[in-house]
Chain A
Amino acid sequence: MSDVTQILSQIESGDPSAAEHLLPLVYDELRKLAAARLSQEKPGQTLQATSLVHEAYLRLVDVDDAQRWDSRGHFFTAAAEAMRRILVDRAREKGRAKRGGGLKRIDIDSIDLATTATPDQFLAIDDALAKLARDDAAAAQLVKLRYFAGLTVEEAAKAVGISTATAYRHWNYARAWLQRELRAASEP
């Protein structure tokens, strides 16, 4: 049984200390995958968060042992946070190299928003998301699973154990909230 699969089964059996061991393992794997991906491909290549997270899942988790959605939910929650950190680091690096980012419109509905935004836009989204999390943790969590782990609203609902209808309510609110917040941030 892989380390990650073992941690997932400990979390499922109610061991609260297991969850904190999950994030570093998932983070390391994703960072390695991201570095490999970026070194192989063309300059300016964006990281596809969705495919990286799914690749990490296949590499780290013994799929046969972790069929149940609640354990996948824990994995994707950790992966979303790990991917967010990787993308924040990358945006800060790129932002230092080249300030500004033009006037590209942000498509808040895009599942690859996290990777298609310019570094400045990405950091603005991340700030807005942190602000939303203080106010409405459930809505922010749903956005994280969508933007950083690439889950659909239905998958994200299963991952956190809420109904699809509730997830859509959080999602619809969150994207209007983020749109408002990002517009306010971009105005002088």
Chain B
Amino acid sequence: MPPWETTIMSKQSERAKAIFLEALDKHAPDEWPAFLEQACAGDAALRADVEELLRARAEIGSFH
């Protein structure tokens, strides 16, 4: 993988992390679709990334 691709991927995962944590901290699950719509601003790959994290988090169960 060329180094610039790694950089792009890292940036996406950083953004996904920030959006994922904000969704959990500040929004109820029923607000997530609207929040993701706005936060991911049409970036479908980013949105899919965050949605997978939220699904994985739901599988784990209770927070903390």
- Which residues of A approach B to under 8 Å, CB–CB? 108-109, 135-136, 139, 168-169, 172-173, 175-177, 179-180, 183
Contact = CB atoms under 8 A, between A and B. Distances in A.
Interface residues of B, number: 19
Interface string B1-30: 000000001100110010011001000000
Contacts of A180: 52-53, 55-56
| A-B pairs with lowest CB-CB distance, top 9 | A180-B56, A179-B56, A176-B57, A176-B56, A176-B53, A173-B17, A135-B13, A180-B52, A169-B21
A136 B17 contact: yes
Chain B interface, DSSP helix/strand/loop, else mixed: helix
Chain A interface, DSSP helix/strand/loop, else mixed: helix
Given A135-B10, A136-B13, A136-B17, A176 B60 contact: yes
Interface of B: 9-10, 13-14, 17, 20-21, 24, 52-57, 59-61, 63-64
Nearest to A181: B56
B56 A172 contact: no
11 contacts: A109-B61, A135-B10, A139-B17, A172-B21, A173-B17, A175-B57, A176-B54, A179-B57, A180-B52, A180-B53, A183-B59
B20 A173 contact: yes
B60 A108 contact: yes
Nearest to A174: B17
A169 B24 CA distance: 10
